[in-house]
Structure 1
Amino acid sequence: MTQRPRPLVMGIVNVTPDSFSDGGQHFDAARAIVHGRGLIAAGADWLDIGGESTRPGAQPVSEAEELKRVVPVIEGLAGTGIPLSIDTMKPGVARAAISAGASLWNDVNALRADDALETAAELGCQICLMHMQGAPQTMQADPVYEDVVAEVETFLLARAEAAIEAGVPRESIWLDPGIGFGKTLTHNLALMAALPRLAGLGFPVLFGASRKRFIAALNGDAPADQRLGGSLAAALHAARSGARMIRVHDVRETVQALKIQAAIASAP
């Protein structure tokens, strides 16, 4: 039996005191590095390191503080052989992170900051462009769309074109529909249902729904650390829908679920 390839799994390393699920758990370089190595042992194909929370209502941090949080962690994980991603909206942080050993800039702001497009082209790294309506501080206040799928699709294609025009190679661009970033439950479900359409736009899709609030909205307000079942359901759906990488907290469980799904799909 030949298994169909499963999506890559990106493990989350939050070096923050206030991320929605694991804020403060790995809020120093040593603990974050240990956590990252644990995710690698659990089967992570990538690690995504972030030093500024983007949960709803999160307050921004200075560039200096973000650099202090993430650069030592990237340096500590750069020799593991696993590719690293920097989760930041700041071009200066991206520049330092790529220099320290990261190879993907995961930008929830889709390179809309001053000099972000030019920096991305100069760095020559992979880029993930995510859709977000508003900013983390206010994005969940009252998100409104006429057609969420069409609007997210139009936005992502426009940002990809802007990146290409700035000099980012087309083959270096990933897209992320931004589940939970300025979306209601209805918006999130519509985007997840439309993942095959988004995966057909000509760019690989990075999908992240791990432990997000929409799961609790469908399941009795379950706290973040009790959303594994919903996270796995979303990950399996994303895999079936064409996502190329899935960003998760629970790496071991997600890898196992994806392997089983791929084996069943490949059974004679």
Structure 2
Amino acid sequence: MQAYYPEVVAPVRRVGSREFDFARHIVVMGIVNRTPNSGLDPNRSMEVREAVGRAEQALREGAEWIDVGGRAFRSDQPPLPAAEEIDRVVPVIRGIRELGSDAVISVDTHLPEVAEASYKAGADVINDTNGLRTPGMAGLIAEAGLSVVITHSLGGPGQKVERPTYGDVVSEVREFLRQRVDFALGSGIQPEKIFIDPGHDLNKNTDDSNVISRRLAEITDLGYPTLVACSNKHFIRESLGVGRDSEELRIGTIAANTLCVYQGARIVRVHDVGPNVAAMQAAESLLGLTER
């Protein structure tokens, strides 16, 4: 397997107040969840002060981007009104901005109401695990001039998908992302505002996620900076045969992220920031992206 260096659409781009060269740099995104039921996050809490504190720690450890979430993707949860999701994420976004950092802030949401409130509170990016399928979301992002992460999933957040199956998971994920990028462009979102995410484990089994990781170059070849969200996910746990809070899971996350950046990913979304920052700096040197 050879390293893949995708030709990136607008590789040097401004996201919020930061400028990145996605042809030469791997960005570490720190996860801050304010949810009571995330199965992936051992640090989850409903306390605003604690959530902002986790963001502050992530920034100290080298995160350049913070992703704030108020809703788990899982289907086995009661409905969450937009107003409640707003109450969860907006105080955290404001609190992070009050730290004085110029780090990028994204909000993990598929609802336009939450996206708009988050933007007004200081968010720069909408991380949409519904792939811009919610009516009004693409128009809001275009009008506000926000960046967007377009993520693949079959059902979207909170939707149960019984035994999801694919003919060729990589080809189907790639085609979905290509179509949703075309939809975004047709809705007025500028190409330099678009990121993509294949959605590891989102309506996918372990084999699906492993295949996506091995063949990620077929997705990064679309040309838009690719984010991978492998951190603590089931496909790593199952591959290793370990529990949620094990050290092996953290090591497995670094291994998965390293394989993905070898195949062209340029943003890694993680719970444990410090070790992944070190690993991605090493990966940049190993890949010849930067000189140390």
Maintained 8 Å contact 1:46/1:84: yes
Look up the match of 2:270: 248
Contact 2:69–2:89 (Cα < 8 Å) also in 1: yes
1:212 to 212, 226, 233: 233
Per the normalisation by structure 1, the TM-score is 0.93
- Structure 2 residue identity aligned to 1:255: V
Q: Does 1:74 align with 2:93?
A: yes
Cα displacement (A) at 1:262: 2.8
Equivalent residue of 1:256, what SS? Answer: helix
> Which AA in structure 2 matches 1:71?
V
- 2:128 is aligned with what amino acid? D
Task: Work out the number of aligned pairs and report it.
Answer: 265
- CA separation in 1, counterparts of 2:106 and 2:120? 12
Choose from 181, 192, 196 the match for 2:213: 192
Partner of 2:57: 38
2:255 is equivalent to residue 236 of structure 1? no
Q: Over the residues paired in the alignment, what is the CA RMSD in angstroms?
A: 1.9
TM-score normalized by structure 2? 0.86
Cα deviation for residue 217 of structure 1 reads 1.0
Q: In structure 2, the residue corresponding to 1:242 is in which secondary structure?
A: coil
C-alpha contact (below 8 Å) 2:170/2:218 kept by paired residues: no
Residue 260 (structure 1) aligned with residue 282 (structure 2):
yes
Q: 1:12 aligns with which of 16, 31, 36?
A: 31
Deviations 1:25-46 (A, max 9, x none): 3312111111100000011010
Give the secondary structure class of the aligned counterpart of 1:47. Answer: strand
- The equivalent of 1:174 in structure 2 is 195
Shift of 1:136: 4.1
Q: Are 2:47 and 1:25 equivalent residues in the alignment?
A: no
Deviations 1:216-259 (A, max 9, x none): 11112422454101100011111211111110001000001122
Distance 1:214 1:52 in 2: 21
CA distance in 1, matches of 2:33, 2:79: 15
Structure 2 gap ranges (5+): 1-22
Work out whether residues 16 and 23 of structure 1, in 8 Å CA contact, stay in contact via their aligned partners in 2. Answer: no
The answer to whether the Cα contact below 8 Å between 1:140 and 1:182 also exists between their aligned partners in 2 is yes
Identity over aligned residues, as a percent?
35
Which runs of 5 or more residues in structure 1 are unaligned?
Answer: none
